[in-house]
A and B are shown apart, each in its own frame.
Chain A
Amino acid sequence: MDSKTVECYLHENYAIAGSLENNNVLKDVSYLKDFYGGMKSIEKSEIRINELVLNKLITDQTKLVIGGNLDNQLTGLSYALTNRNVNYLGIYSACATFIEGLIIASKFANKKEDIVVITSSHNLISERQFKYPIEYGSPIKAYSTFTTTGCVGVVVNRNLSKYKITDYTMGKVVDYGIDDASNMGAVMAPGAFETIKTHLKNFKRTIDYYDLVLTGDLGKYGLLILKDLLKEANIDTDNIVDAGSLLYPDDYNKAGGSGPVCLPLILFKKVLLERKYKRILLVGTGALHSKVMVDQKLTIPTISHAVSLEVKS
């Protein structure tokens, strides 16, 4: 059940990122001027970036939009879809939302209709929802990651293109007993580990089969933990790269980016534009906590989904 071979293709994509992400890592991205992007509140600004991406990607052929973000009740996307003539499936697996979207889209994909998979995140909204009021200065831990602001969407169908999704592995909810909500890397590394292990086992592959294994948002320290876990299971770790830890190379106060938008942003606007890799394993990792659960001192469970992407030159 958990792994399956599929056939669908990724077509045009569009990305918007916040002002702090404008640091020469990404190419071909529109940037916001500030966190508000000309809107009156941060919530409206997330709705706005979703609208802008949907405007670029939705055509008459589009029948279904699959997506989600970190907002309570997924308002960032649902409000942006109001009065558009498309069906909508709202999904949530925190920072693994984009990969979950691709897995669901691969089930519905056909040759006549387009599916848009979209995800977004907003630093200040996450700050407000998961931590303290925005203007409240709390001590920042060196290992905590920084929620990336942005929105990325991609069109999926069964017509041939350069980027083919060949198979996927659905994740299971894993909890290794970490309750520190500022240490997302340590929370999510076990999820990624279990999913990579299951994926390789189910398809009888070694990790060398992939030119690149791109994890979502473990950050610098989470990546080290994942590599240690894989080494213990005798899996090679040379080709594993974390999208989040690539985002803020010059900022030593951040252990990397996080948020569902991190992985697609780095994938479409950096990795695929470099044209170096033929086979890529995308591993989205999400921490399934809320502030209430953290305040009640419960440990944080995590989910991770994986999708194989083949690039034809």
Chain B
Amino acid sequence: MNHNSYQELVKKHMPKRSKIKKLFLAFFSGGMIGIGSQLLSNFLVYLFKIPIKDSYVWVGIILVLVTALLTGLGFFDDLVSFFEAGLIIPTTGFSHAVISGALDGKREGFIVGISPSMFKLCASVIVSGVTTSFILSIIGWLIYG
């Protein structure tokens, strides 16, 4: 049997999960995080009388902290497996990747365990972020001087 016809055979037997349900779950969970963050920002502005710009920074910090806490307590991986992209795309996904890596290396100690495995999954995000911002700033400098 050649490889193509085998792949057809495999495809025939694979269970199909509805993409619409996945889309809805991601839209719902991502949207809820958005609404929650906006409410939190309004709340911070109202309560502490800080500028709106500062409140966004605080919201980011709080999201990262809550995700880190939930990951450490062992809930967040189940939530990600269920809601998928809705929780991976926001900053929660980044925090989750860092903390789960750190937990993975805890038995090997700080230097060879925790520190390198913290960036195992998110190193590519950091590298592509730095590279993109470098290229964009050069383009901006060439255009605007």
Partners in one complex: yes
By a CB distance below 8 angstroms, the chain A residues around B87 are: 137
Given contacts A135-B71, A135-B77, A137-B76, contact A40 B103 (CB under 8 A): no
**Interface-facing stretch out of A56-64, A66-74, A98-106, A138-146:** A138-146
Q: Of the candidates A134, A137, A255, which one forms a contact with B103 in the assembled complex, judged by CB atoms under 8 Å apart?
A: A134
Cβ contact within 8 Å between A41 and B107: yes
| Nearest-Cβ distance from residue A129 to partner chain B, whole angstroms | 11
Given contacts A41-B107, A176-B1, A229-B1, contact A133 B17 (CB under 8 A): no
Chain B 58-79 near chain A by CB (<8 Å), digits 1 or 0: 0000000000000110101111
Cβ contact within 8 Å between A137 and B81: yes
| A221, CB-defined interface residue at 8 Å | yes
By a CB distance below 8 angstroms, the chain B residues around A138 are: 80-81
Cβ contact within 8 Å between A137 and B6: no
Cβ contact within 8 Å between A225 and B81: no
Cβ contact within 8 Å between A178 and B10: yes
Q: Of the candidates A136, A139, A255, which one forms a contact with B96 in the assembled complex, judged by CB atoms under 8 Å apart?
A: A136
Cβ contact within 8 Å between A135 and B74: yes
Cβ contact within 8 Å between B104 and A139: no
Cβ contact within 8 Å between B15 and A136: no
| Nearest-Cβ distance from residue A154 to partner chain B, whole angstroms | 31
By a CB distance below 8 angstroms, the chain B residues around A133 are: 100-101, 103-104, 117, 120-121
| A235, CB-defined interface residue at 8 Å | no
Residue of B nearest to A135 (CB): B100
Cβ contact within 8 Å between A142 and B15: yes
Given contacts A176-B3, A177-B7, A229-B9, contact A136 B77 (CB under 8 A): yes
Residue of A nearest to B16 (CB): A142
Chain A 141-185 near chain B by CB (<8 Å), digits 1 or 0: 011000000000000000000000000000000001110000100
> Could you pull out 30 A-B pairs where Cβ atoms are within 8 angstroms?
A41-B107, A132-B100, A133-B100, A133-B103, A133-B117, A133-B120, A134-B100, A134-B103, A135-B71, A135-B74, A135-B76, A135-B99, A136-B96, A136-B100, A136-B104, A137-B79, A137-B87, A137-B96, A143-B15, A176-B6, A177-B3, A177-B6, A178-B7, A183-B10, A190-B1, A190-B6, A221-B14, A225-B10, A228-B12, A229-B1
Q: A176-B1, A183-B10 are in contact. List 18 more A-B contacts (CB 8 A).
A: A40-B107, A132-B121, A133-B101, A133-B120, A133-B121, A134-B100, A134-B104, A135-B71, A135-B76, A135-B99, A137-B80, A142-B17, A177-B3, A178-B6, A178-B7, A178-B10, A183-B14, A186-B10
**B positions within 8 Å CB-CB of A:** 1, 3, 6-7, 9-10, 12-15, 17, 71-72, 74, 76-81, 84, 87, 96-97, 99-101, 103-104, 107, 117, 120-121
